Structure formats: structure tokens, C-alpha cells
Amino acid sequence: MPKQVDHDERRRQIGDAVCRLIATRGLDAVSLRHVAAEAGVSMGRVQHYFATKDEMLMFAFDLISERVAARLGAVDSDDPAVCLRAILLELLPLSEAARAEAPVLAAFLAQAVVEPRLGLPLHEGNGAMVAWLAGMITAVRPGGDSAKDAMVLLAFVDGLMMQVLIGQVSAEAAVELVDHQLALVLGGSRR
């Protein structure tokens, strides 16, 4: 009986290798040869699943995005202020999973500045994220412009992620800064 091949799993294996390369060596290190070596597969197998480097990069971005979304979706609290804080902290490289993903996300953010095609998925997901956070802000603090506050919080966390990644801000200080910013946005109603 022929061996059953899980093509999705093989694509994920290669996508994981792309993510590891990006995290440790940057987007420029993503080549057919380097990805194959990192994944422990032949270059032919990589080519079988991905026709172009762009296709590999977009798949890797989708993998990371799914993982971040799963972590954010796992945040569970009936208190919108607690939930909002947990989500913002989950976006920072504080946990082992987030520390592995953050360099990849940072590389995509930086590259999106000069390659708009990479920025498109970021742009598409941003609106939903702003609306989600704005809903939590409104639940805690009715009134004001919760959409602008949500955008400020996301921009703040993006910048803070970079600061943590380069060692400018410690994990402990990042948590304190998130609490400080939330207190400002929520008008002191944060616990």
C-alpha cells in the first residue's frame, strides 16, 4: 500500500523552516537552498510545494498570523479590561511562542514598507483588530473615540515589540508600559 502523504503537513514543515530562517537571518536568507536545508528536505520538495519565494513568504506570514490569532483567541475573560490587557501583552514577545514569532512579524513589517504586497495582509487584518479592541475599550469606557484609542494601542504595541526585540525595553518594563498606556486610554478604570 502506498504511503499516505499529508501535503498540508509538508507545506507547514517548509513554512516553519521559512519562519525560522526569517527569525534568525532575515527575509534575505530565504532561498530555495536555505529553506530546503533548514527543513531537512530536498530543493525539489520545496519547489513541489512552492513555485516562488513570494509564495513561500506569504505562506510563512499566514502561518505566523494563524498562530498569533490562535493565541489571541485563547484569551478568555468576562472582564473586557482584563481581556484587552491580555491581548496587548500577547502581541509582545513575552511568551516563548511570541518570542519566536515576533522577529518574523517584525521582518514582514519592515519589508512591507518597501514591498506593498507584503503590507496588504497586514492592512486587511488591521481593521478587524481595531474593531475588536475598540469594542473592548467601549465596554470599559463608553464614550470617546474608541477606534482611535484602539489604533493608538496597536501602534504603541508594534513599537514596543521592536523595542523589546532589540533589548531597549525589558519584558518587565514592557508590561509596566502597557499598564500605563491602558490606564491613560481607559481613563483610570483599569484595575
pLDDT digits 0-9 by tens, 15-60: 999 999 999 998 888 999 999 999 999 999 999 999 988 899 989 9
**pLDDT at residue 122 greater than cutoff 90:** no
The answer to whether residue 191 scores a pLDDT higher than 60 is no
Joined together, the cell numbers standing for residue 9 give 503537513
Radius of gyration, CA atoms only, the chain: 19
3-state secondary structure of 92: coil
Question: In degrees, to the nearest 5, what angle opens at C-alpha 174 toward C-alphas 19 and 182?
Answer: 115
Answer yes or no: is pLDDT of 6 > 50: yes
Is the model's pLDDT at 167 over the cut of 50? yes
When mean pLDDT is compared across 65-69, 79-83, 123-127, the lowest value belongs to 123-127
- CA 123 vs CA 106, 113, 119, 128, 152: distances in Å: 15, 12, 6, 10, 15
- CB of 36 closer than 8 Å to CB of 48: no
Please give the pLDDT value at position 188: 57
Helix then strand count (H, E) for the chain reads 9, 0
pLDDT at position 2 is 63
Mean pLDDT over 52-77 rounds to 90
pLDDT band at 3 (very low <50, low <70, confident <90, very high): low
Report whether pLDDT(98) > 50. yes
Residues 44, 16: Cα–Cα separation, whole Å: 17
Do residues 104 and 58 lie in contact, with contact meaning Cβ atoms separated by under 8 Å? no
Judged against a pLDDT cut of 70, whether residue 84 lies above it is answered with: yes
For residues 179 and 85, the answer to whether their CB atoms sit within 8 Å is yes
**H helices present in 76-115, as ranges:** 80-90, 96-112
